[in-house]
Amino acid sequence: MNVLVINCGSSSLKYQLIDSETEKVLAKGLCERIGIDGRLTHTPAGGQKIVFNDPLPTHVTAVSSVLEKLTDPQCGVIASLSEIGAVGHRIVHGGEKFASSTLLTDEAIAEIEKCCELAPLHNPANLIGINACRELMPGVPMVAVFDTAFHQTMPEKAFLYSLPYRWYSQYGIRRYGFHGTSHSFVSKRAAEFLGKKPEELKTIVCHLGNGASLCAVKYGKSVDTSMGFTPLEGVPMGTRSGNIDPAILEYAAAKEGLTLHEVMNVLNKQSGVQGISGLSSDFRDLGAAAAAGDKRSAAAIEVFCYNVAKFVGAYAAAMNGVDVIAFTAGIGENDPSVRTKVLSYLEYLGIEVNPQTNKLRGEETVISTPDSRVTVLVIPTNEELAIARETVEIVGE
Ligand code: ADP
């Protein structure tokens, strides 16, 4: 079955058409500047990237343009829309309602709407994508795959904040965690790669991309994760602060003459490695600048690696041991020096790095030595494929 995977943001929409039998990507692309002027980049498998300047006033026109490209005699990959068997939607927040992916019925959509309060920037945009697809592909089954669902197995001791309990019971203020589709995919794949069952392993997944989070996966289930009520918590990220003393908010607001909202904006968009370096949120730029002697870029990398290592230590404690550490996402897959720095703090766990295999980028590899007490892997994540698999599982072959 061909599954159309949709990741809809407020002004953008990413898509992939995946053949679920072969797991090949038939075409992929991105609609940008929806509601502004519009730009659609479409890449059929084995072909060149094509840029269209279709006006995209609404998400419905964006989805309509995508469907047009997919069925176009020149750049298309299917003859008609009837060849799309199902649509899988990436949904950011499923609250406590969704512990797994779900078929998008009217009731499920109403429940996702209720979660908008928890993810006001993301869920409404995700819902717009769902509605646009429903309008243009009536009758095609659709599935919601949530970033939060995998973490619903966390025990209370991991998800409760030490705040008035009523804030949790009345407002749902608790740790939800994000990147769940990636943590689930990578932990499963890590086990498969090692010829083991997920139920046999204590795994720590380090999803280190522009957004970064770690997850303690004990015997196949998420038991703790570094992102929290929002994706701002945890390790420092490209532009997000990660954990800080909450008292800084009031102090910095007073010093800088900012509102709470403006301080939150700084924490989300001008902090992390971008904030420390003052140069870039991209580790390629930071690595080059640090090598050329830029001290703040070097400090940004150090702060990042140190904090990632501290979370690994915390999760080894949370699970009372660790068998596998898996690095994934942009930095985790492609930056051997970050991996080396993180692992240099973890020798006490009996970790030995293989400097030869650690040089590799973006492929499934064991980067620890055979004697290492913990197996360290690089496992490229593939959230679109994970969404396509979930979709097929729910709608049936
Ligand atoms: P997201 O999906 O959160 O936007 P990605 O997982 O695509 O992020 O990661 C993007 C980040 O990965 C970039 O900002 C950059 O810091 C890092 N990255 C990508 N390629 C490399 C590379 N070759 N070397 C070092 N870092 C890289």
- Ligand 1 center to 330 CA (angstroms): 3
Arithmetic mean of pLDDT over the chain: 97
Q: Which protein residue's CA is at the shortest distance from atom 7 of ligand 1?
A: 330
Q: For ligand 1, atom 27, name the residue with the nearest CA.
A: 331
Choose the catalytic residue: 147, 245, 282, 285.
147
Specify the pTM.
Answer: 0.96
Local confidence band at 397 (pLDDT 50, 70, 90 cut-offs): low
Q: Which domains does the chain have, with CATH numbers?
A: 2-146 (3.30.420.40), 196-383 (3.30.420.40)
DSSP H helices in 198-328? 247-256, 260-269, 272-277, 283-291, 295-318
Question: Which three-class secondary structure state does DSSP give residue 96?
Answer: coil
Question: CA–CA separation, 215 vs 240, rounded Å?
Answer: 18
Q: Could you give the CA distance from residue 274 to residue 252 in angstroms, rounded to a whole number? A: 18
Element at 218 (helix H, strand E): strand 212-218
Q: Closest residue (by CA) to atom 19 of ligand 1?
A: 330
- For the segment 261-313, what is each residue's pLDDT rounded down to a tens digit? 999 999 999 999 999 999 999 999 999 999 999 999 999 999 999 999 999 99
Q: Are strands 202-208 and 324-328 parallel, antiparallel or unpaired?
A: parallel
Q: Are 328 and 378 in contact (CB under 8 A)?
A: yes
Check if 209 has its Cβ closer than 6 Å to any atom of ligand 1: yes
Residue nearest to atom 20 of ligand 1 (CA): 330
Quickly tell me which residue has 């059929």 as its tokens: 44
Strand 50-52 vs strand 84-91: parallel, antiparallel, or unpaired?
A: unpaired
One-letter identity of residue 133 = C
Q: Which residue has the tokens 């040089």?
A: 359
Q: How far is the CA of 272 from the centre of ligand 1 (A)?
A: 14
Q: 211 CA to middle of ligand 1, Å? A: 9
Please, are residues 342 and 312 in contact by the beta-carbon 8 Å criterion?
yes
Q: Is the pLDDT of residue 1 over 70?
A: yes
Q: Quick one: residue 83, left, alpha or beta (phi over 0 = left, psi -120 to 50 = alpha)?
A: alpha
Distance in Å, CA 333 to ligand 1 centroid:
8
Per-residue confidence (pLDDT) for residue 362, from 0 to 100 = 86
Q: Flag whether pLDDT at 10 surpasses 90.
A: no
Q: 151: closest CA among 217, 235, 210?
A: 217
8 Å CB contact between 162 and 175: no
Judge whether residue 374 has pLDDT over 70. Answer: yes
Catalytic annotation present for 147? yes
User: Per-residue pLDDT tens for 153-191?
Assistant: 999 999 999 999 999 999 999 999 999 999 999 999 999
